[in-house]
Chain A
Amino acid sequence: MSQSGKPDRQTLARLFSEFIDPEYVIADEETQKPYECDGLSMYCEMPLIVVLPETLKQVQQVMKICHQYQIPVVARGAGTGLCAGAMPHKEGVVLSLAKFNQILDIDPLARTARLQPGVRNLAISEAAAEYGLYYGPDPSSQIACTIGGNIAENSGGVHCLKYGLTVHNALSVEMITVEGERVILGSEGLDSAGLDLMALITGSEGLLGVVTEITVRLLPVPEKAQVVMAGFHTVQAAGDAVGAVIAAGIIPAGLEMMDTHAIHAAEAFANAGYPLDAEALLLCELDGTTEEVDQYIERVEQFFLQQGASSVQVSGSEAERAAMWKGRKSAFPAVGRISPDYYCMDGTIPRSQLARVLTEMQKMSAEYGLRVANVFHAGDGNLHPLILFDANVPGEFEKTEAFGGRILELCVEVGGCITGEHGVGMEKIRQMSAQFNEQEIAQFHRLKQAFDPAGTLNPGKGIPVLKHCQEYRSLPSSDTSVMPLTHHHSAGDHS
Chain B
Amino acid sequence: MTDQTQKQVLLELKDYSITFKTPDGDVKAVSNMNLTVRRGERIAIVGESGSGKSQTFLGIMGLLAKNGQTSGQALLEGRDVLSLKPRELDKVRGKDMAMVFQDPMTALNPSLKISRQLTEQLEIHRGFTARAASVEALDMLKRVGIPDPDRRFNLYPHELSGGMRQRIVIAMALLTKPKLLIADEPTTALDVTIQAQILDLFNDLTAEMNTALLMITHDLGVVAGLADRVAVMYAGRIVEEAPVDELFEKPAHPYTAALHAAIPRPDQDVDDLVVIPGRPPNLQHLPKGCNFSPRCPKVEDDCIDRPPQLETLAPQHCAACFHPFPRREELLTHA
A in complex with B: no
Tell me the A residues contacting B by CB distance below 8 Å: none
